[in-house]
């Protein structure tokens, strides 16, 4: 291959590379903040008699943006009837890029119930990948164990 063909091939790779980058950016939405609803089951019902099965709940908040820190501005835990059980933050928590934090509801805590949830608010000074916010429920009784997760759902999108 002569130099002219090499430059043509490199130019095509560059053009296609830019097209793929533009396409990739369109696949996800950056944000400056959101409010999320996260289901968190402090217990579930099992068996024919609907016996309570207590669960430990871990709320996990993960900043997946590789460059931009975010601020967690609220983490509130609500019970089945919508009552506020615990307000976790008195001031914003800075979460560095690729950093994470967690909050735990112990299995002996029965206050939340089967309809418990978290409301999580986050913000950023610039556009960032929205964090992954999920709850992980784990429980064991006798020789039986159960675990499952729930993802946060955006209920308010911050507008620039």
The pLDDT score that the predictor gives to residue 24 is 44
Among 22-36, 69-83, 97-111, name the one with the lowest average pLDDT.
Answer: 22-36
Interval 105-146: pLDDT, tens: 999 999 999 999 999 999 999 999 999 999 999 999 888 899
Mean pLDDT to the nearest integer, 93-112: 96
For residue 5, what pLDDT band results from cuts at 50, 70 and 90? low
Q: What is the DSSP string of 108-122?
A: T--SS-TT-EEEEEE
Domains of the chain: 30-157 (2.60.290.11)
pLDDT (mean) for 18-47: 78
- Percent of all residues in the chain with a pLDDT value above 70, rounded to a whole number: 82
- pLDDT for res 14: 58
In this prediction, residue 80 carries a pLDDT of 96
Q: What is the pLDDT of residue 119?
A: 98
pTM over 0.95: no
Could you report the per-residue pLDDT of 38-58, keeping only the tens digit for each?
A: 999 999 998 888 889 999 999
């Amino acid at each position: 291959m002569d130099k002219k063909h090499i430059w043509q091939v490199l130019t095509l790779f560059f053009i296609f590379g830019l097209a793929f980058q533009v396409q990739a950016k369109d696949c996800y939405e950056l944000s400056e903040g959101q409010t999320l609803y996260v289901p968190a089951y402090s217990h579930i019902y099992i068996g024919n008699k609907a016996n309570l099965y207590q669960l430990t709940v871990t709320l996990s908040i993960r900043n997946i943006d590789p460059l931009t820190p975010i601020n967690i501005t609220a983490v509130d835990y609500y019970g089945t009837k919508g009552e506020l059980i615990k307000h976790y933050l008195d001031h914003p928590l800075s979460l560095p890029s690729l950093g994470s934090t967690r909050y735990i509801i112990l299995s002996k805590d029965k206050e939340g119930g089967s309809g418990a949830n978290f409301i999580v608010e986050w913000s950023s000074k610039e556009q960032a990948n929205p964090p992954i916010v999920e709850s992980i429920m784990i429980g064991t009784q006798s020789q039986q164990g159960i675990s499952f997760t729930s993802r946060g759902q955006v209920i308010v999108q911050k507008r620039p």
